[in-house]
A and B are shown apart, each in its own frame.
Chain A
Amino acid sequence: MNIRLKDICFSYEDAPILAQINCTLKSGLFHAVLGPNGSGKTTLLDIISGFKPPTRGEVYLDQTKLSGISRRKISQAVSLVSQDYTINFPFSVYEVILMGRHPFIDRFSRPSSADMDLAERALGLTGLHALKDRKVTELSGGEKQRCVFARALCQDSPVLLLDEAFSNMDISHTIQLLSLIKNEVETRGKTVIAVLHDLNLAAAWADHILFLKSGHITKLGPTSEVFTSENIRSVFDIDVRVEYNDYVKTKQAYFRKSEHA
């Protein structure tokens, strides 16, 4: 499913968060969104997921206007792993994951065996099988985040939005899940849009990178083209060197201590 943002603007009162966003995010590609704090990354995802309607402009899912369809229809197309993974009541891990199927289950129906198969699959893929019956309120931060991630996988929608979905995970789970998503993108043509803070993970896994600064897209294109020291420097205001790394088999960014400090 392709996502097209047309003339998107978003502002709180007079404070503009996003200004004139025009871009197309294509099916079968892993997009990383990079930008400093407060550059509008989360708001961008909020607008694509329909959580916040844009002040101006329109989002299209393929040819469909997002503003013209119901919340439920949107949730069948777009899933989200948000930054906030607190769950206030002691549901079991399995119950939370199965909630990902709710957009597809009628109000008073029980989950079908297909729904349960998807939940099992999500459990397996995220390595949560052993924690299946544990209460989510008793999990560690990283485990909760994996559980929320599994719920989005279980939703199995063509578009997957990740908002710092790995912020509390250890490196091994991060790599495992990134590879998993990458595989879904390649084999099943999903559209992934991930807000990441680790530039090098983005360089290694993303097909396209979108640089966001103060509510504007400064660059959007294939990773090999836009992941350059000039672009990173202009967005983050840091000294950086980008070089091809043999081991990673892609470009990586290197940073150093400021010499003036």
Chain B
Amino acid sequence: MNKNNGISFKNTRFVVACFTIVLLIAVLISLTMGYLHIPIGQILHIVSERLAGSAPSTHQMADTFRAVIFDVRLPRILTCVAVGGALSVSGVLFQGILLNPLADPYTLGVSAGAAFGASVAILLNLSATFVSIPLFAFIGACATLFFVVFLSYSSKQNAAGLSSNNLILSGIIVAAILSAGISFLKFVANEQVSVIIFWLMGSFASKTWGNFWTVLIFLGLGTGIALFYARDLNLISLGNRAASSLGVNLKRITLILLITGSMLAAISVSISGIIGFVGLLVPHMIRFLTGPDNRRLIPVSLLAGAILLLAADTITRAVLPHEIPIGILTALTGGPVFCWIFKKSRMR
């Protein structure tokens, strides 16, 4: 038995290492692709030059490549990678807390809140200033989360204060109200309606290093917290009483993980708009690979989500003749894949 368990732990490291390598390769390949093809040798050369801090060669072509890599492609690619990871970790957390493999980062209405916040910002014509839309989206997402938690919280039930049914129900109610609100905003928005619609569909176009660092900080923090409580999240799946009898402080941990998951979703939405199905699909697929143990599921899902979203973004950026919003691409491809997985797991 000793052996068996040892292997599963080593296995995790191996899987994580593999996914990390695949991610690095994916980033490199994605860097080469686009309107201007940059050979992979050039990329390695320019990147290692920058990392080593040596004086850049003053070749004309190298200057262009450098600008394309560091000012355009790399911030976009890395933001996309970080958002993919954040959405997946968020998905794992929501599925774990809500005891429902069909939950996703948007189940509690976080996306609707973010969309509402962004729509308000666009309507008030704040889009000229750089931070407003993401900031409004983030505030909208957080306000929604706290309202949903407030709705589902009952002081009577002490230990099980936040039941998953209550949370899901409150989330659906609040999201429905907010989407009506968004429709209303679109209705009164006149010429800005297309801006709202485009924002809602998500995009990584013209992302900056600032965007990347913002997501990365939240991702690092969120993943740290998620891994810290991963074991408690496992126990929660045994049911409230059982988890409690195994030493889990249900109320506190549910709240902490709920906020963590929502923050990850909120920051993602506020940076890149609403990108569906990543948070739902990735943990679902990775569970087949690693099993349901969150200590393995969280890191592997993070990497897989990053790879998947990067692939999707590279397709819309460099492969398709015309860039389409990534939210549409993930929904159009992720949706059918999910249907297939769902049907297959039902048949067994």
Contact = CB atoms under 8 A, between A and B. Distances in A.
Interface in B217-265: 228, 231, 234-235, 237-242, 244-249
Given A12-B156, A95-B293, A110-B5, A50 B237 contact: no
A91 B291 contact: yes
B245 A75 contact: yes
A103 B237 contact: no
Interface in A72-98: 72, 74-76, 78-80, 82, 84-92, 94-96
Interface residues of A, number: 46
Given A12-B156, A88-B237, A89-B237, A50 B244 contact: yes
B52 interface: no
B228 A103 contact: no
Nearest to B252: A71
A218 to B, nearest CB: 26
A218 B212 CA distance: 67
Interface string A37-64: 0000000001001111100000000000
A83 B154 CA distance: 23
Contact of A99 (B156, B228, B238, B244): B238
A27 interface: no
Interface residues on B, range: 20 to 34
Contacts of B100: 88
A103 B239 contact: no
A195 interface: no
A82 B246 contact: no
Given A51-B159, A89-B101, A107-B231, A82 B237 contact: no
A75 B239 contact: no
A245 interface: no
A134 B247 CA distance: 25
Interface of A: 12-13, 46, 49-53, 70-72, 74-76, 78-80, 82, 84-92, 94-96, 99-100, 102-103, 107, 110-111, 113, 116, 119-120, 148, 151-152, 155, 161
Given A12-B156, A89-B292, A102-B235, 9 more contacts: A72-B247, A74-B247, A82-B241, A87-B238, A88-B237, A99-B238, A113-B2, A116-B2, A116-B5
Interface of B: 1-2, 5, 9, 96, 99-101, 156, 158-159, 228, 231, 234-235, 237-242, 244-249, 287, 291-293
14 contacts: A13-B156, A51-B241, A51-B244, A75-B246, A76-B247, A78-B245, A79-B245, A80-B241, A80-B242, A80-B245, A91-B291, A95-B291, A107-B228, A151-B242
Pairs A-B, 9 closest by C-beta atoms:
A75-B247, A89-B292, A80-B245, A72-B247, A82-B241, A103-B247, A88-B99, A89-B237, A88-B237
